[in-house]
Amino acid sequence: MNPMKSSKTATNTVNIHEAKTHLSRLLKRVAAGEEVIIAKSGKPVARLMPFAPPEKRVLGMDAGKVWIAPDFDELPADLLAAFEAE
């Protein structure tokens, strides 16, 4: 298979030697939205795919969904003694 052929919708498979030889070209294809599978002895071992930045997290988006008991930070006396024993 020629790793230089381009198809924006199809997933292409290349062997390790082709991937090493043509990595820059494969990365250009991946940057254009293509996905490339790298195989060793015909078995897939890695997938090159476009980078997707993580979703931005919003501070406080789970407000009101979590409840912490008022005595959360208090250890029972016997457990506290076990931690402090020497």
What's the CATH number where 17 sits? 3.40.1620.10
Please indicate, yes or no, if residue 76 is contained in any of the structural domains: no
* Confidence at residue 71, expressed as pLDDT on a 0 to 100 scale: 87
Tally of structural domains, the chain: 1
Is residue 35 within 8 A of residue 46, CB to CB? The reply is no
Does the pLDDT value for residue 65 go beyond 50?
A: yes
pLDDT in tens, 42-54: 999 999 999 999 9
* Confidence at residue 74, expressed as pLDDT on a 0 to 100 scale: 87
Q: Secondary structure of the chain: what % helix, strand, coil (to 5)?
A: 25, 20, 55
Q: What does each C-alpha distance from 35 to 7, 11, 20, 68, 69 come to in angstroms? A: 9, 5, 16, 44, 48
pLDDT in tens, 2-24: 444 443 445 799 999 999 999 99
pTM score? 0.54
Please indicate, yes or no, if residue 16 is contained in any of the structural domains: yes
Left (φ > 0), alpha (ψ -120 to 50) or beta: where does 64 sit?
Answer: left
* Confidence at residue 86, expressed as pLDDT on a 0 to 100 scale: 62
Instruction: Note down the domain range covering 44.
Output: 11-48
Alpha-carbon span 30 to 69, nearest angstrom: 49
